[in-house]
A = this chain, B = another copy of it.
Amino acid sequence: MNPRNGAQSLLDALATGGVDVCFANPGTSEMHFVAALDGAPGLRGVLALFEGVATGAADGYARIAGRPAAVLLHLGPGLGNGLANLHNARRAHVPMVLVVGDHAGYHKRYDAPLESDIDAVAHTVSGWVRRSATADEVADDAALAVSVSRAGQIATLILPADASWNAVRAADTDAGVPAAVLAGRAEPAATAAAMDTAAYWLRSSNPQTALLIGGDATDADGLAAAARIAEATGARLLCETFPTRLRRGAGVPPVERLGYFAEAAVAQLTGVTRLILAGARAPVSFFAYPGMASDLVPPGAEVLTLAGHRGAAAALAALADELAPGTTASPAPADRPTPPTGPLNALSLAAAVGATLPENAIVVDESMTAGMGLPAATAGAPAHDVLSITGGAIGYGLPAAIGAAIAAPDRPVLALQADGSAMYTISALWTHARENLDITTVILNNGAYDILRVELQRVGAENAAAPGPRAAELLDLGRPDLDFVQIAQGMGVPARRVGNAEDLAVALAESFAEPGPHLIEAMLPSIFSVAG
């Protein structure tokens, strides 16, 4: 048998580590990785036409599969193109193995046109960065990358082309990494002191104690434990604004999300004197606004961090057994809206989703202003998972839907996608079609960056209530209007436009009934065109 090269040993190590998908947008320096795919049947290569699609897909995959996917990018510009969704993944504590191809080691000193500082950029989003110097190091480095990524971080392996194409000398390619390291470490449990304090606060039965959950506590088990605690003690229960993965719907204990706008979050937290964080961080305003506080913890309130992103569900379960033994949480009742009729707006759109959402769907929510009616309208829909734009970098939804659909091929995926944000990574639709993924995309087309029209007012900019024509032009997506039906069809996704609520409900039902990708362009009014 011929000696294996670095790329082949990399794919072996990924497979050994349980990585079974690689979202890829390769270039010349990655050709040996690509060539090696045919010898690695356990690793599925999925082509993205833009790197931000690949990184967003890997994020969506990890959130649903609970394990890392690999991503293959080309040099510094490829990493740059993938950076926005890597930012979201970092903020969501998502496991991911990022392989960035680089020039051959000996080639770097020539400062060829594509040379750039990959390491510096990679460090801004990665919990772990390593550069394999030789082919012999690749397998161990890859094994370590998979292992450390499991702690909920991006592990970046920079792979020089010669480390990829050279033959590996060592026979046992992962002998260097101890088994204990490869298995990954358990998250530290909540400390006894934190558990005691939380129990003491909660036993005070004080409605001014609030439990803010996030991380792994927004899955079914964590929600159940948190709800048992809240129900038994009267504590207020909230979850972070953009959870990594939120289980909700009929049969799942409900949780209110902290508002995106600081004013809303302040109102939700008013009167709280003790705040327990389980998987969430202390609440802060998404942006700063003149004259408003950044820190949303009510003045004078005590804050306790019970558990980090991982381990929150376990800490809450232990706390629930202590504070509310033998209880079960009250689940949300099944309760769908009736299919709506009449004009499309944020409320009728939400009702159409609530009326049609199939069992065990995955909802990727990048709906921005147009999605304001969704939480209420889907609260009693069949149980589903919601993935949200955790780091706030737009262009997440269409790529994340790819990963979610690949991680769970038997579950329907609904991508609720604002129009402006859709355009950042629109080529994701092509991958929806190529992989024949069961994704229903609803483009919420209101012809504007409505969220920025809101923000223009909120930041108190001069003439914000009536911006001048040149400012307004930068927030307007008209002239020309985007036609997402044509764009989607141009990438191979069947598409239709709907202009009223009943047509949207029918289109959703038909799309959910038929496997494969579909796009529905929902024509919505700008919130600024609706009289109060």
Query: A interface vs B, CB < 8 Å?
Result: 5, 24, 26-29, 31-32, 34-39, 45, 47, 49-50, 52, 76-84, 86-87, 91, 103-104, 106-107, 110-114, 116-117, 120-121, 123-125, 161-162, 165, 241-242, 281, 284-288, 290, 294-295, 390-395, 420, 423-424, 426-427, 430, 433-434, 451-452, 455-456, 458-464, 467-471, 473-475, 477, 479-492
Contact = CB atoms under 8 A, between A and B. Distances in A.
Nearest to A419: B49
Nearest to A432: B480
Q: How many copies does the complex hold?
A: 2
Nearest first, the 5 A-B pairs at minimum CB distance are A480-B492, A38-B468, A80-B83, A486-B490, A35-B461
Contacts of A455: 27-28, 31
B35 A464 contact: yes
A47 to B, nearest CB: 5
Given A52-B81, A107-B294, A117-B123, 6 more contacts: A24-B474, A35-B456, A35-B464, A36-B462, A80-B82, A116-B125
A97 B49 CA distance: 29
A402 to B, nearest CB: 15
A107 B433 CA distance: 42
Contact of A483 (B114, B117, B161, B489): B489
Contact of A284 (B111, B117, B430): B111
A284 B103 CA distance: 12
A482 to B, nearest CB: 6
Nearest to A491: B482
Given A120-B124, A467-B35, A286 B461 contact: no
A427 B81 CA distance: 14
Contacts of A473: 45, 47
B116 A124 contact: yes
A392 to B, nearest CB: 4
21 contacts: A26-B452, A27-B455, A31-B459, A32-B461, A34-B461, A36-B471, A47-B474, A50-B395, A76-B83, A77-B83, A80-B84, A103-B287, A107-B284, A107-B294, A112-B287, A114-B391, A116-B125, A117-B123, A165-B459, A434-B479, A488-B490
A285 to B, nearest CB: 7
A287 B490 contact: no
Q: Which of A49, A113, A390, A430 has the most CB of B within 10 A?
A: A113
Nearest to A475: B34
Contacts of A426: 426-427
Given A424-B50, A486-B486, A486-B487, A84 B81 contact: yes
Contacts of A117: 123-124
A45 B470 contact: yes
Nearest to A88: B77
Contacts of A49: 420, 423-424, 477
A34 B464 CA distance: 10
Contact of A490 (B81, B479, B483): B483
Contacts of A39: 462, 468
Contact of A83 (B83, B241, B287, B487): B83
A450 to B, nearest CB: 13
Q: Which of A31, A242, A485 has the most CB of B within 10 A?
A: A31
Contacts of A91: 113
Contacts of A121: 80, 83, 120-121, 124
